[in-house]
Structures are given as structure tokens and as C-alpha cells.
Amino acid sequence: MLPTNEEITFLFNVSGTTHRHTLTADYVAANLYRLNFAIDFPVFPEATATLLNAVIIPRDENVQDVVIDATPLSVEINGIHWATRNVGAPGTFVNRVEDAGMFFQWNRRVGWSSTDPMVNSDGGITWDSSMDDGTAWYPENDPCPTGWRVPTSQEVESLNNAGSVFITHNGVNGRLFGTAPAQIFLPAVGWRVNPVDGLAQHSGAGIVGYYWSSTPGGTSLANYLLFYSDNSNVWNFSRPHGLSIRCVIE
């Protein structure tokens, strides 16, 4: 539980030496945040760091600073708490907002690489071209981390209606949804096309984004968010295709 507008000091034990980083909190109430600490101490080439505590204390002159990159784990847009990162391997988020993550077929938990060669989260290379006939994205097949889930079509529509703009973030093209300060960046990862021969080629990276919803759009289709540089909308897509996933809090 972090304060919203006070100084927070994080203490680390690095090979027996205490180091500290102090930041001034400027957070939005009710949002979740992930704090990523990058520690680089050349005098300790094989150092191991342990977080001792996070406390509010006065600054001392003899404690070394470390660098912090703090971004929220979730952002509330139109009453829905969205993750700020794509799903990576099943049950995990990627480290950075611009990271691609993995592709998933609708109502399946197995992730597929967003680059070539094609390999899945279990180490397999055989694409399943069969049509899933589920009437929903079932919880046991949901690749989102615990406490999160694939959004419904209504939630995806709500995000799209919040407004967006196509931008480049840290060298990655994508679309920024929402209004500052409540915004999330979805990278234009492309998708894996489900061809007749089952090779599922990667296509559209840097140009287009495809993000599944959990809502079916017919026996062989499901709703998804599609965006290009000039527009975004919610459509139906064939379930065996591999698309990105952006979770919402349950």
C-alpha cells in the first residue's frame, strides 16, 4: 500500500551494503503500480540485492542512490481497470509497456511467439488449426495472471470509445488509449495468420494491433479490437488466429 503524495524510501541490501532510493509519490488512488528497480554497482560485479523495507524516513548523506522506473500495473479507464502491459507467457505480464508479449488463439491458454521462429510457451512448434467451439473464454483457459482476465467485448468497446491516438513509444508503434493521466499504450504487434497449411505466419508488426475479447461472435468467430495508424474498432475474427491479450482486473 503506497501513499499518494509523500516521499517513499526503499532500502536494499546489496552484498551486505545498504543502498537506498527515495522517490516522491505521485500516484492515482485505487490504481495498482509495479516498481521496477534497476541497480548497477560496478564495485559489486556479482552483487545480489534484497529489498529490506519501504519506509518514510529523512535523507542521509552517506547512502547511495539507485535508479527507479515506476509505472502503474493498472489504469482505470471508464470504470474498468486495465493492465498496462500485454500478457507474456501464460500467467505473466511482460516487463515493459512496449513489449509485444505472446499471441494466443481464442479460448486457449498456450502462448505463441510474436517473432519467428514460431514456438509456443510449452516449447512446441505444431500449430493447432482446429476451431474452438466454446461459448466463452473459459477461466481454465485464461492466460491472464491471477486476479486478471481477458476483457469482454463491452469492455473493449468502452476502451475504444475512450479515444486513442497512434504514437511511437520507445521506438515501438502502437495506440495510446484514454485521456491523460488515465492512458494505456497497446503496441502494434500484428498477429499470427492461421493459413491452410498450419504454419501460422507472423504478420503486421509495427502496423496493426489485434487484441482478443472473451466474447464469441458466432460459432467460428470472436470479437476483438483492431487498430491501425488511422483508426480503431471492434470486429469479429477467426478463432484459430493468434492475437495479443490485454487483461482487466476481475
The whole-number pLDDT of residue 59 equals: 40
Which pLDDT tens digit goes with each residue over 223-248? 999 999 999 999 999 999 999 999 99
Which pLDDT tens digit goes with each residue over 119-167? 999 999 999 999 999 999 999 999 999 999 999 999 999 999 999 999 9
Which pLDDT tens digit goes with each residue over 105-132? 999 999 999 998 899 999 999 999 999 9
Q: Is the pLDDT of residue 67 over 50?
A: no
Distances (CA, A) of 30 to 3, 70, 75, 95: 11, 16, 9, 21
Query: In 38-194, where does DSSP find H-type helix?
Result: 153-161
Q: Are 159 and 107 in contact (CB under 8 A)?
A: no
Q: Are 237 and 69 in contact (CB under 8 A)?
A: no
pTM of this prediction?
0.74
- How many Å apart are CA 92 and CA 73, to the nearest integer? 12
